[in-house]
Amino acid sequence: MALASCAPGDDRPFNATEEARRAADAAQQTATSETDAIATEAEVDAWTKGAMVAAADPRAVEAGLEMLRQGGSAIDAAIAVHAVLGLVEPQSSGIGGGAFMVYYDRDADEITVFDGREVAPASTTPNHFMKGGKPLGFLEAWQSGKAVGVPGQIALYKTSHEAAGKLDWATLFQPAIKLAEDGFEVSPRLAGLLANPRLRGAVRLDDLPASADYFYPNGEPLPVGFIRTNPDYAATLSAIAESGPSAFYEGEIAQAIVDAVNSDANPGAMNLEDLADYSVKIRPALCGDRADGYRICSAPPPSSGGVTQNMIMGLYDLLEPTEEADMTEENYLKAFIDAQRLAYADRDHYVADSDFVTVPATDLINPAYLRVRAKEAFAPDATTHPGDPGLALGRDPVRPLWGEDATEHGPGTTHISIVDADGNAVSMTATVEAAFGSSIMVKGFMLNNELTDFSRQPAKGTKPVANAPGPKKRPRSSMSPTLVFDPAGDLFMVTGSPGGNSIVAYVSKTLVGVLEWGKSAQEAIDLPNIIARGDTVGVEIDRPGGMEAADALRELGYNVEEREGENSGLHVIIVREDGLEGGADPRREGIAKALE
């Protein structure tokens, strides 16, 4: 069956192109004037498709469903889900980290991005990770107080709740507080990570006293099924539930964060003002329109989501075979690989915090640029390099403005997809960066090590790197929380994943899988992961179809790196004619569950 799982087949359950065309025609016929396009409350049809939560742990999903049952919105549910994940999946995210949330308000027909990304303390210089003229080693930088950014998660909870929460603020924390007080069962994945000798060698969980006491009682890793209470987390959440974000960003908890960061063996320089000053940025989503009428919206810089997902899908359209004789499974796969390689090279060069550097985000997804860029597709064995949207669009070159990127990444993130009973949607990817972040535990939660998402080397030769560290700057993220709208402008898909740099490839696999290859949410998630960044193509060979894909790509001349144990955590919801269809990544422990 070779690559049958990686390309369109005759039995596809959903013919994206035809359905898109039909819907586009219908939309064109009805939208006759500008006023028709503006939805008023009376014009918005009642939502009849139901509600759903997809996330990395059933207990977190249940907390979200409980909020929906109480009449809560997608944002209420997302906060409750995430507060539970911070307890049961502390390796991936928590209130000591940050997130990007893309929110769709169906009534207002508006998409808002809440950027709760961690911020570098005001004392940060471009040489933050340099020592004696050289960048600190990755592990040394990664496991340090220096790597801790000012957490954005609690501020994101508050700002998004103020925008579209329906339930009481304090209600959102009750499931997590109860579970932290009663104790939760340690899952196989958490226990497996704690016992993993490679991870133990790389992180400091069993060295730092608070983390060691919590995760290694009596020196042994928490086993599967152990009932772990976390009274400190319950107390922290109770304070936040009662007093709001000031309980976190000021006073005792803020002081504990500052003390932990600054007293680390490799200390940071964070102060109380850094915490008190944190604010969420509300940004417009970065959206691109596809030729078939679908619209892909994701987070703008410093997230890579909007740029990469639109680039990959736009380039795929230009690179996919058009002649009948070329329409082989290998060539469809090749188009996806080549689109990824081009997009990753551009993302690596240009995407950074757009409040500090000029990121040509809209140029990168401009169809005129993509037409030029598609012609630059690299030979399978060629070295990749960024394009120049300035030159391609007839303006001054922009590529020489920046030195070559030198950013590296490791594992620790989660993705939540929610559609509520009114058809509003949340796509939120949250992170502490590494597994268990910096390994520093404060008041029942893990502090992130997000600042290693900056390029540790601030310049290449005489050129600054766009993603160099800087005071109050936000490090670039691969997180790509994404929403897709159909040609009639209605919500079609909610998707996103953890996985460091590979997030870009994982999320685009669900887009190409569903929109181009006619897969269901689960089928798209189950496809082997294929990551084409730089000069190698990583292929997940321990999944059905993976080895066949690796062989086919080798045959085409790509430098294939066979991979096992891929770390995607895709959670997808698709709005179908007859209701919501969910999918959860079998590589993690999550589920997608509808509200009954």
Question: Which of 136, 129, 272, 144 has its CA nearest to residue 208?
Answer: 144
Query: In this structure, what is the dihedral angle of CA atoms 230, 233, 237, 239, given to the nearest 10 degrees?
Result: 110
Query: Strands 110-116, 98-105: parallel, antiparallel or unpaired by DSSP?
Result: antiparallel
Residues 417 to 456: which contact ligand DON by CB under 6 A?
431, 433, 450, 453
Residue 413 bears catalytic tag: yes
Report if residue 480 touches ligand DON, rule: CB under 6 A: no
Question: Considering beta carbons, is residue 174 or 567 the nearer one to ligand DON?
Answer: 567
One residue of 446, 503, 530, 592 binding ligand DON per CB under 6 A? 503
The distance in angstroms from the start CA to the end CA of the chain is 38
One residue of 72, 387, 567, 594 binding ligand DON per CB under 6 A? 567
CA 10, 12, 15, 16 dihedral sign is negative
One residue of 300, 487, 499, 528 binding ligand DON per CB under 6 A? 499
Distance CA 55, CA 293 (A): 29
Residues 286 to 305: which contact ligand DON by CB under 6 A?
none
Binding site listing: 117, 453, 477-478, 500
Select which of 112, 124, 236, 413 is catalytic. 413
One residue of 245, 301, 411, 583 binding ligand DON per CB under 6 A? 411
How many residues belong to the site for ligand DON (CB under 6 A)?
16
Report if residue 309 touches ligand DON, rule: CB under 6 A: no
Question: Which of 568, 596, 563 has its CA nearest to residue 584?
Answer: 568
Question: Considering beta carbons, is residue 332 or 436 the nearer one to ligand DON?
Answer: 436
One residue of 3, 53, 234, 479 binding ligand DON per CB under 6 A? 479
Report if residue 529 touches ligand DON, rule: CB under 6 A: no
Instruction: Look up residue 334 and give its amino acid.
Output: K
Q: For residue 260, report the phi and psi dihedrals to the nearest 5 degrees.
A: -65, -40
Binding site listing for L-glutamate: 117, 453, 477-478, 500
Smallest separation (angstroms) from ligand DON to the CB of 303: 8
Do residues 94 and 83 touch, judged by C-beta distance below 8 A? no
- Encoding tokens for residue 33? 């004037």
Question: Considering beta carbons, is residue 317 or 450 the nearer one to ligand DON?
Answer: 450
DSSP 12-39: -SS-HHHHHHHHHHHHHHH--SHHHHS-
Question: Considering beta carbons, is residue 264 or 585 the nearer one to ligand DON?
Answer: 585
One residue of 159, 331, 413, 529 binding ligand DON per CB under 6 A? 413
Distance CA 498, CA 495 (A): 11
Residues 458 to 477: which contact ligand DON by CB under 6 A?
477
Question: Considering beta carbons, is residue 290 or 456 the nearer one to ligand DON?
Answer: 456
Question: Which of 147, 181, 156 has its CA nearest to residue 100?
Answer: 156
Question: Can you list the pairs that 575-581 forms with residues at least 24 positions away whose Cβ atoms lie under 8 Å?
Answer: 575/49, 575/419, 575/490, 575/491, 575/492, 575/493, 576/14, 576/49, 579/49, 579/50, 580/49, 580/50, 580/51, 580/52, 580/419, 581/520, 581/521
Smallest separation (angstroms) from ligand DON to the CB of 474: 10
Question: Which of 472, 348, 447, 451 has its CA nearest to residue 142?
Answer: 451
Question: Considering beta carbons, is residue 398 or 505 the nearer one to ligand DON?
Answer: 505
One residue of 145, 151, 300, 500 binding ligand DON per CB under 6 A? 500
Contact positions toward ligand DON, by CB under 6 A?
409, 411-413, 431, 433, 450, 453, 477-479, 498-500, 503, 567
Give catalytic residue positions.
413
